[in-house]
Every structure is written in C-alpha cells, then in structure tokens.
Structure 1
Amino acid sequence: MTNIKDYISIDQEILSGQPVFKGTRVPIETLFLHLEKGVSLDEFLEDFPTVSKEQAIGVLGIAEKIMTSKNIEKLYETAA
C-alpha cells in the first residue's frame, strides 16, 4: 500500500493542521470538492500547480483503498 505520508501532510503550522498535499498548502479536501463539482483532474492541477499529478492520483488511490476496504465499518467508526 502507498505510504500516506508520501502524499499527505498534517502540520498545525499549516492551515491549522488541515490535511494538505505534502509540500504544499493545498488542502486534500479541495481535490474532492473540485471533483464533486465536475471539475476534471487536469483542471484541478491547472488551478493548483503546486500539486503534482502523481500526488493527486496517489491521494485518489488511498481514498479508493479506504473506501473498498473490507474493514470499512471499523474505519467509519474510528472516523465518526
């Protein structure tokens, strides 16, 4: 599995600890909000040039693994 820390950084000094793409100040949430609105991945990357395509695809891959995990109910309980 991909190491989450290769793609996501959480630091209280950056956006009060909101998860961001590593090496940037771009919140991970921004990617999902753009995709929800129908914005393509390429458009997102144009809007946020500090995020690499590899980072965005890596985060999407992590989300896929979490959402398709057989332990999704336990993960949900932990996050709730």
Structure 2
Amino acid sequence: MEFQYIVSDPEILSGKPIIKGSRISVQLILEWLASGASIKEIVEEFPHLPYEGVQEAVLYASRWMENEIIIETKVRA
C-alpha cells in the first residue's frame, strides 16, 4: 500500500516516518493518541496537519505491526 501523507527522509528526524510537510512523526501521533488526545484535538493543536494525514499515521503504524514477530525466550537462573 502506498501512503499519501506518510514519508521518510534521512534528512528529517533521522528518517523516522513523518506526516508530509511537517516534522511530526508517526511515533509522536501515536503517543498523543495513547495519552488520550483525539485526532480532532491533534489537528486543532497543529492546524498545518491534515486530518487525513493523522488518520494515515495510525494506519501506517498498524500496517507496520502486521509484520511483527514475537520470539519468547526463557532465562535460566
């Protein structure tokens, strides 16, 4: 899937995925949402962010997590 609003540039935030035209990372969007902010509140606080871009940040993170592999290990005492 191609993302319209999410880009990654090694010159901006060390290549972290960001909302295009900003320095707002997908990670920061997720942190705001986890702390209780709504997408509407985020866009009101940062009016240069498109509502759809913030939505797409959540979708981007979800797609990235689809490929997560969890490996359980046991530590011997």
Please indicate, yes or no, whether the TM-score normalized by the shorter chain is above 0.5: yes
Point out where structure 1 has 5 or more consecutive residues left out of the alignment. Answer: none
- Whether the 8 Å CA contact 1:21–1:27 is kept in 2: the answer is yes
Q: How much has 1:47 moved relative to structure 2?
A: 1.9
Query: What is residue 6 of structure 2 aligned with on the other side?
Result: 8
Bigger RCO of structures 1 and 2 (CA < 8 A, at least 6 apart): 2
> Whose helix proportion is higher, 1 or 2?
1
Query: What is residue 59 of structure 2 aligned with on the other side?
Result: 61
TM-score where L is the length of structure 2: 0.71
Show the 5 A alignment for 1:1-80: 1=1, 3-4=2-3, 6-64=4-62, 72=66, 75-77=67-69
Highest CA radius of gyration, 1 or 2?
Answer: 2
Moved >3 Å (runs of 4+): 61-67
TM-score where L is the length of structure 1: 0.69
Q: How much has 1:43 moved relative to structure 2?
A: 1.1
State the Cα deviation string for residues 19-56 of structure 1 (Å, max 9, x = none). 10012111111111011011111111122222100111
Aligned-partner Cα distance in 2 for 1:41–1:13: 27
The Cα RMSD (Å) is 1.9
